[in-house]
Structure 1
Amino acid sequence: MIYLDYAATSPMTEAAIDVYSQMAKKVYGNTSSLHDAGGKAHVLLEEARAIVADKMGVNRDGVVFTGSGTEGNILAILSLARGGKGKHIITSAAEHTSVHAAMNTLEREGFEITKLSFTRDGVIDLAELSRAIRKDTVLISIQHVNSEIGSIQPVKDIANIANEQGIPYHVDCVQSFCKLDISQFSHKVDSITVSAHKIGGPKGCGAIYINPHRRIVPVFPGVTHEKGIRGGTVDTPAIVAMATAVEQYAYHLDKHWRLRKQLKEVIRDSSVEWIESHDAQQFPSICGLCIPRVEGQYVMLSLNEENICISTGSACDINSASGTKAILAMGNSISKARQFFRISFGEGTTEQHIERVAVHLKKLALI
């Protein structure tokens, strides 16, 4: 099998699997228990928190472990928005489904949501963001790397605008964590979401950072675990395995650019279209593509028959009939959005994999 869907999830590393297994067998105490078994689990939990916080470049006091990136986005956005004094939020039209889910919830509570479109380069317009800010704007939530086309949003510039206006800024860094250096802007933002399974850690584990100095209203008032933000007995084995993945994960930027350029070269003379940004604003591992008159679902199923795994966009949007959000946010038609498919690389991707998928893409482009 050739797996080219790393933006959806990645295989657990052997080190993470081993740590998870050993922790599950030997460290099963509740981290909130006062006996020695609980104390041992608590120490390991806090060590893992320090590792994740260091990689994020934030104060460990603001790091909360969650059950996923989806849960993290929802908890962070709802907690920050409800803690503000206004009823207006700014986001983009191409955020992850979980961000839109949080916005839909807030909209039902009387919040007004402004969704910024993308330029033809797949990024927001900073001038449009500035114009959208109002006196009652209580939160900005705009991602770092788009999960569908891999465009990189100007997070530092967005943070500067938010800070000038005193508005909390939440960033979904699920696709970029441990791959791009988010510590370059983490000290300027108020909330960050990350996930373990994109970097070789376990599924069902993630983390958020919320600035300890920001007022929040917890989604579940009265819970006691994880600083009162996320209730439930902490999954210590998964969290320590996540920290192991964070320490060991190595993203080789040059390799992924080389694979991207190889794919471009091999299919250059075909009708396959690239949906992308400029190199300076492009994450190389995520390739957004279209074949005119061929639906992305058909491309995905055809490649699956050849034992090649790709996707038609975010796995969390797989049941959507309207196509991918990023394509629509860039001003494309629903018809073109339905032609979209995504190839995403990981550490296991080779030049031979690229050659093989390219052969089949060129065949599909002749339909």
Structure 2
Amino acid sequence: MDVSEIIIPGDTPGIEWRLPVFRFKGDDPATPKVYIQAALHADEVPGTALLHFLCEKLRDAESTGSIAGDITIAPQANPIGAAQSHFGELQGRFDLGSRTNFNRDFPLISLRDRNSLIEDLDRYPATDQLKRQLMHVALGADLVLDLHCDDESLQYAYIDEAFWPEASDLAAALAMDAVLLSDGESSAFEEAIGFAWKYEVPGERHAHLPGKLSVTVELRGQRDVYPHMAKADAEGLWRFLAARGIIRDESISPSTFAGPAVPLDNIEMIRSPESGTVLFHCNIGEEVTEGDLLATIITRPGMAHGSIEIRAPQAGLIVTRTSDRLVRRRADLMKIACSQPSGIVRKAGTLED
């Protein structure tokens, strides 16, 4: 295992960020190359735990000559966010200096312009340097996995329709409960990688990208960080890498994804109409039908008619739920994956900021 560091100078004197990158060299140049990162949202660490155990397995595989394709891993991809503590709470999703999401505003470029990402880096602030260097490393691979988690959540993934259904092997290997098929219309990390591949020749768009994959994997909820889960997920990624021929393991047999795969237009984003205390009546993983009571919001405690009921707009699977129990008006409460499009028109891009 080769270990190097991406060094990012801070925007104030005396500050420097160091990001370790692990590389496992494959012995077959014809085999696809893999890049995996975790904790781009620095407070989402199930992926960091997963990669800790996966690296352990990869070191053993390296010692026996079982790695066919190059594998590059960044277990903690955001040292800037990891250092942001506000009144004792880690703030890993947004850069406190620029107020931008660490997983938004990645450059939308053609693959042929990859090297431009790291030219004249000094003219960019630290967060943009981080994004550009991560993207430059990732575009040297064929398969790119960005490991995140949700709030309270099932295991699921955002996968661009350009990679589906080929990517169903990843969903099966990780025993995902659902796949949300995205349109590739945002500046999030995995969609910026897909954009570069789709527009490898500027002005010419590839609708399907065989042999490529760029995906956001949501490893359950933010507090689902346990050794048995991390080890099971590491085994899942091992199965995926073996099925794709990146590592040699004849004991692995492919499995089939059995969960729903629905476009983002079919996701019901359940939001709170008013601020208040949330009483949930349904949990993640439950199938609901139209009209089922999902939650009660206590808006005026102690008052007659001081609560609001929230009901399911259609049938579907509850994929995520907020962990907050005191919410603001228009706060996201749940995502429900449905077989039919939502009645609310969605803007192109991500479901949440």
Higher relative contact order (CA 8 A, sep 6+): 1
TM over 0.5: no
Between structures 1 and 2, the one with greater strand share: 2
The structure where helix makes up a greater share of residues is 1
> What TM-score do you get using the length of structure 1 for normalisation?
0.29
Q: TM-score, normalised by structure 2?
A: 0.30
